[in-house]
Amino acid sequence: MATPTVPAGWTDTHCHLDAPEFDADRTAVVERARHAGVTQIVLPAVAPFDFDTVRELAHRHGLAYALGVHPMYTGPLDDAALDALREALAAHRDDPRLVAVGEIGLDHFVPGLDRAKQEHFYVQQLAMAREAGLPVLLHVRRSADSLLKHLRRMPEVGGIAHAFNGSAQQAQSFVAQGFKLGFGGAMSFERALQLRRLATELPLEAIVLETDAPDIPPQWLYRTAAQRTAGERSRNEPAELPRIAAGLAALRGLTLEALAHATQTNARTALPRLATLDAVEAST
């Protein structure tokens, strides 16, 4: 069997294109990304209210999407949200643009979140991903060890640890579980020493790129609280990915072409349906 051709360019493995920050110019955001060389964007859902939205956006713009319940949205929800996810995964199981279950995970940073409830949603969604044969997009914020505990019980589930910012040991544990680690704008800050060290020293085959747009703006877009109050914008968007990638290439001493090929390959290893989409789009 011939090896699938990896498209030239970049894949943004995590972008919330449905966010209200993009309401005024969403189509232009996608066009700017494509003009910058971003060939694919993955749109994760955060709760049942946006399942249809991310799916519709993916189909309208030729992108990919994931369905899941974000840990920060679990507060007012009950198991009906899990039932809605199960039904949506079943209804769209043959949709090649559905590439993962996500964004799911645990958040141990934001105060006031119910950790037991988050864990319940996380474990149930891992099981759904395993049943559906899909990888997961993991929210990891001061919660790596708890996430890994449950992943070890479900070794069949792989995917991407989104916006990874843990220790080297935790990074190695995710990689050992078959996960890729998402790096984005946070890596562009010179004071992010641990993150930049990880981005430099991890095996190249462990790394995928992302923006988490409109969040996690890179250093050149960052605005202080005072600047934001004064009306200055710090919105991130997928078109920034090549510049983020250039910073990583410089850290690792790679050419942009080598990094693009590696990270495109890694994204398709983590999210295999992306390769199916490549083949579909190449034939049209």
Which residues are known binding-site members? 14, 16, 103, 139, 162, 212
Rounded to whole angstroms, what are the CA distances from 252 to 2, 170, 245? Answer: 30, 21, 11
CA–CA dist 100, 137 (Å, integer): 7
Rounded to whole angstroms, what are the CA distances from 71 to 52, 108, 121, 199? Answer: 19, 10, 8, 26
Beta bridge partners of 64: 42
- Provide the annotated binding site for a divalent metal cation: 14, 16, 103, 139, 162, 212
Range list of H helices, 92-143: 115-132
- Number of Cβ within 10 Å of residue 199's Cβ equals 19
Omega into 257 within 30° of 0, i.e. cis? no
Range list of H helices, 62-153: 79-91, 115-132, 144-151
3-class SS of residue 2: coil
CA–CA dist 82, 128 (Å, integer): 9
Burial class (CB in 10 A: 0-12, 13-18, 19+), 192: middle
User: CA triplet 35, 274, 160: central angle to 5 degrees?
Assistant: 100
Whether the Cβ atoms of residue 52 and residue 66 lie closer than 8 Å to each other: no
CA–CA dist 145, 180 (Å, integer): 16
Q: How many residues does the chain have?
A: 284
